[in-house]
Amino acid sequence: MIEASAAAAFPACARVIVVAGFRAAEIVSLFQGRPRVEVAVNSNFERGMLSSLQCGAAAVRTPRFFLALADMPLVSPDTYRLLLQAPPADAVIPKYRGKKGHPLLLTGAVARAAAAQGGTLRDVLAGFATLLLPVEDPHVLHDVDTDRDYRDLLGDNPAGRGALAPKGPPGAAAPLDAGVAPPDAGVAPPDAGVAPRGS
């Protein structure tokens, strides 16, 4: 599942930073030698998502970056592109039918603020200009938190059938439009929920 989540970001990103906490050794092994992928190990993952953002953002080398979740493998690559084309804001958040989702497109200023304070990401974003961008991608809301969610994704749900199959080699992404600096995408593992059995 984390591979599918990372693959969705490749068409719009220079690199994918995978933040590993729970089962970190397995994730490091899974992505070892993959082009355009860096694994950052979060030894404080029990502290929640903000600690994963802090860990991943420390490896970012571009002015903007995505914060995506590893338990949302069906987000369309087109959604990443739409976020990049949005008017400038410190945080660009996709919205589907009135509900906020992921991935988020954040600036380095947000990352620095997250590194300097505790609390939650919501607390950090309260001090920044935020743009809610309507998208036609329901998967910005669809995360996989339980074994049932995972089984649905693999077979019971026609929309998810085959979604976790490889989409091609990493790095075979379409180029960005000229003049747009590709951001890094930090794919953070979920800090809450149930890890799918057998994965």
Please tell me which residue, 149 or 5, carries the higher pLDDT value. Answer: 5
Spatial contact of 160 and 74, defined as CB atoms under 8 Å apart = yes
Percent share of the chain, pLDDT over 90: 31
Say what the pLDDT of residue 107 is. Answer: 92
Q: Is the pLDDT of residue 169 over 60?
A: no
Q: Is the pLDDT of residue 190 over 60?
A: no
Place 183 in a pLDDT band, splitting at 50, 70 and 90. Answer: low
Q: Is the pLDDT of residue 162 over 90?
A: no
Burial class (CB in 10 A: 0-12, 13-18, 19+), 107: buried
Which range among 98-102, 122-126, 160-164, 166-170 shows the weakest confidence by mean pLDDT? Answer: 166-170
Q: Is the pLDDT of residue 149 over 80?
A: no
Spatial contact of 22 and 195, defined as CB atoms under 8 Å apart = yes
Spatial separation of the C-alpha atoms in residues 132 and 146, rounded to whole Å: 28
Spatial contact of 145 and 195, defined as CB atoms under 8 Å apart = no
Say what the pLDDT of residue 167 is. Answer: 41
Sequence spans of domains, the chain: 2-167
Say what the pLDDT of residue 197 is. Answer: 28
Side chain identity, residue 35: P
Place 184 in a pLDDT band, splitting at 50, 70 and 90. Answer: low
Half-sphere exposure of residue 58, counting CA atoms within 13 Å on the CB side? 12
Say what the pLDDT of residue 145 is. Answer: 73
Specify the CATH architecture of the domain 2-167. Answer: Alpha-Beta Complex (3.90)
Distance of CA 52 to the CA centre of its chain: 11
Side chain identity, residue 147: D
Residue range 46-101, pLDDT digits in tens: 887 888 888 888 888 888 999 998 888 899 999 999 999 999 999 999 999 999 99
Side chain identity, residue 104: L
